Structure 1
Amino acid sequence: MIDKGELFQIKRDIEGCVGEKVQLTANKGRKKSFIREGVLENTYPSIFVVKFENEYDNTRRVSYSYTDILTKAVELVVCKDDKKIQVC
């Protein structure tokens, strides 16, 4: 069962980092994962959006749920002043 208090704390922590550069690690299953850097663009009641840019000047926005962080499917690290601070 999901603890709503813990989920609310994750959401509040992420809301405080909107506009910050983040490093996102996502588990894609079968021992596959990817690590990308982007900007935490926005938060919504159930999801948050990260904007990624690549070397071809393409912009991609990807959304994740707060439950993804709680279940450790996604790990979010904020990059502030050349230091990495783990949010969740």
Structure 2
Amino acid sequence: MSSIEEIKSRLDNHIGEAVTVVSQAGRKKFTERSGVLRSTFPSLFVVELDEDTQFKQASYSYADILTKNVQVDFAE
């Protein structure tokens, strides 16, 4: 992906689909979360999480995808 607009456009096409998000949680540490892509906004997107935690949603910025701090994989 080469721009934030392209990233948002790609995610817009997958709203309502299952996703896995891998995010950097520090040096050599990664967090993997699964859920459903619920909505996109001008600077971030929201994933409704499948996990039973106190947080039901997580939001990520398109800039994090652009800088490779977050990776989004769509279910096949």
What is the TM-score when the length of structure 1 is the normalising length?
0.77
RMSD: 1.6
What is the SS of the residue equivalent to 2:56? Answer: strand
- Deviation per residue, 1:45-80 (Å, 9 max, x gap): 111000112247x6611111100100001000110x
What runs of 5+ residues in structure 1 fail to find an aligned partner?
84-88
Distance 2:3 2:43 in 1: 14
Identity %: 39
Q: Deviations over 1:7-55 (max 9, x none)?
A: 1101100111100000110011111101121100100111100011224
Runs of 4 or more above 4 Å deviation? none
Note the residue ranges of structure 2 that are not aligned, 5 or more in a row: none
Give the aligned length.
75
The alignment's TM-score, normalised by the length of structure 2, stands at: 0.88
Match of 2:33 among 36, 51, 63: 36
User: Based on CA coordinates, which of the two structures has the bigger radius of gyration?
Assistant: 1
1:77 match: 73
Aligned 8 A contact 1:51 1:59 in 2: no
Greater relative contact order (Cα < 8 A, sep 6+): 2
